[in-house]
Amino acid sequence: MQAFIHQLNSAAKDSLFRLPTEAEWEYACRAGATTPWPFGDDESQLGDYAWYRDNAWGVDKKYAQPVGSKIPNPWGLYDMHGNVWEWVEDWYGPYSSSSQLDPLGPESGTTRVQRGGGFSDMAGATQAANRTDYAPSDHFPNIGVRLVRHSR
């Protein structure tokens, strides 16, 4: 993914694209909410917003679904929950116990954080605060990416 982003930025002749940090990803996912999902804590509504085990894998849709086919979060972002786990920039590590604003993960590591849950996961994996980690060399059908476009 980092090689792809490098090629994309080279083609644009600028450093416009990158992976979001874990903090940026969660902020965008929550869209101002403090509940497990931006729509609240009622898991029975999850199928309206996310592809996950109950409405994908469990009914023989064992692949990622078209982006934008569920309700977006309040900020208009689609598929922040479920469908595919999303790589973020941060290396995986424990959170700091100190209060931080826009924290960054460790400077190095062996695995990177992924957020959002996937089409084969239980509902709990799609909650805004849930995270997992994979090695950058791992390849699975339920891993994806969401790029951040920034300007200088």
Closest CA to 146 of 12, 17, 15: 17
The pLDDT of residue 152: 61
pTM of the model: 0.92
117: domain CATH number? Answer: 3.90.1580.10
Domain count, the chain: 1
Q: Note whether residue 3 is domain-resident.
A: no
Q: Note whether residue 2 is domain-resident.
A: no
Q: Note whether residue 142 is domain-resident.
A: yes
The pLDDT of residue 113: 96
Domain of residue 78 covers 20-149
Per-residue pLDDT of the chain (152 residues; tens, 9 = 90+): 889 999 999 998 888 999 999 999 999 999 999 999 999 999 999 999 999 999 999 999 999 999 999 999 999 999 999 999 999 999 999 888 888 888 888 899 999 999 999 999 999 999 999 999 999 988 888 999 999 998 76
